[in-house]
Amino acid sequence: MSESSSNRLANPAPLGLMGFGMTTILLNLHNAGFFPMSAAILAMGLCFGGAMQVVAGICEFSKGNTFGFTAFTSYGAFWLSLVLLVLMPRWGWAEASSGAFMGVFLLLWGLFTLFMFFGTLSGTRALQVVFGSLALLFFLLAGAELLESPLLTRIAGFEGLLCGASAFYLALAEVLEEQRARKTASGLVAG
């Protein structure tokens, strides 16, 4: 193995994408009406959706990737804050946010995500699908909160399953493509 390939940093994007994708799928199974809000969603939101996306973002920072740093650390913070929004009222630390205020919270995330979507236009179609479907998800969830519409929440849940699955797919594709390229470079796989 050459010195340049042994010193190359790993790609943190699959970790961040998988943390986002799996957590999004779990939460939207709840939003679609299949499961109640439970410890599985909250734990995944803290550990994989939250903490591991922040780790991936910090790794993107060290690689000089401003987009990856901003996206992963921001969405990691989203998951951490969402879990706290559920738990803080239960712990007596703060009053629960009203539906209207949650709608504003989600609307702001939708606007941020729309802005980030524009940053994907020079990227792969798969990345565009992840960010485009996430912006739509945030807008649907914001509307559901603002309009107090369980039907819109359920619709958002199904759309969120597609969003999470697209991130899951992209994470796996990046890992497998990089692994294939590594084997090809080492001569283990014929071109």
The structural domains of the chain, with segments of one domain joined by +, span 9-170
Per the CB < 8 A criterion, the answer to whether 141 and 106 are in contact is yes
How far is 147 from 136, CA to CA, in rounded Å? 16
Is the pLDDT at 5 greater than 70? The verdict is: no
Question: How much is the mean pLDDT over the chain?
Answer: 93
Strand, coil or helix: what is 95? coil
pLDDT of residue 184: 73
Sequence-distant (≥ 6) Cβ neighbours of residue 171 within 8 angstroms: 13, 14, 15, 17, 18, 21
Q: Tell me which residue of 150, 152, 166, 145 sits closest to 24, measured CA to CA.
A: 166
pLDDT of residue 1: 43
How far is 153 from 144, CA to CA, in rounded Å? 5
Q: For the segment 40-64, what is each residue's pLDDT rounded down to a tens digit?
A: 999 999 999 999 999 999 999 999 9
How many other CB atoms are found less than 10 A from the CB of residue 128? Answer: 17
Sign of CA dihedral 158, 163, 169, 175: negative
Mean pLDDT of 148-165: 98
Mean pLDDT of 99-123: 97
Which pTM value belongs to this model? 0.89
Sign of CA dihedral 178, 80, 34, 145: negative
User: Which long-range contacts (C-beta less than 8 Å, at least 24 apart) are formed by 128-135?
Assistant: 129/166, 130/17, 130/163, 130/166, 130/167, 130/170, 133/159, 133/162, 133/163, 133/166, 134/24, 134/163, 135/110
Q: Tell me which residue of 119, 169, 117, 154 sits closest to 13, measured CA to CA.
A: 169
